[in-house]
Structure 1
């Protein structure tokens, strides 16, 4: 059920906010990895944190059949290029990284995550209970799934990732508790987050993030 009380945002505004948000996300992510102390620097390099960007802009767009997914996609694709461009300016990395195979792969992941979490962000603001529960549960689930991946890593990396895993799981829980509009929504979202986290963990593993 769409939220008929929410105004549809103009497309030029959606596009502008997505581009500006992507530029900020990519650049801030690189700087945070360089400047933050452990384990917060590890958190800056988190796929779940990037998913929050798509979720947030989807929640802001809120209504529209395709606009939230589009906004999330643009934000994450721009963020990938912003990250590599910032690395060129700050670390003297090769500018060719912007169009390298690695960059293209990350942009493909950005399209997938942007569509999924942009949509979930819009769902989280819906007047439909099941959509708001699934949308909010998915946000917590991506953090729980990433925490599982960090704890499953090979022994030489496991100790390094344990503190980050604890923080990541705590953030997932906190987001559900803070963003849920009622205790019923919060509890249902936590219940939904468990199977979604299992699916997310499988997806991370298949994509090669589990090692």
Structure 2
């Protein structure tokens, strides 16, 4: 989680790249209905973890809990150290590519160990298992759905950078999870 939270803290937060998945849905529902993000995040993540536990098992839930705790610790660490990379606001394509790479590699390492870093991962893992899709396709499905809905309140150009970052992170999560495993030959 150190790698993913480093990218989220030092790139995404500073450049205002939005997310797909659960975080993007939280932002969307907050904007349209005024439901506080802390409440939405708790409910949506809990629902995704419950689904993950039911489909993927107890070990998944335990590993995900450890990853979530580590994520919180590393977010606090990166907040305490202050920015460690230059502000890439003037270079949104570079920010989207690098941010996606940090998130993809960091989350991919967690998923490879059988856990998830949040509700997004649990949902994508369940979708991939139930449909036979590659993990990257499941991530892109959830991310693109939420980003498409986000066009109701976010300018299209901002969504473009988010599309770049979620595509990069989805492909890298899938790559890190499957490299060296026979499952990397799953259907696309």
| TM class, shorter-length | 0.3 to 0.5
Please identify the structure whose Cα radius of gyration is greater. Answer: 1
State TM-score, norm by structure 1: 0.38
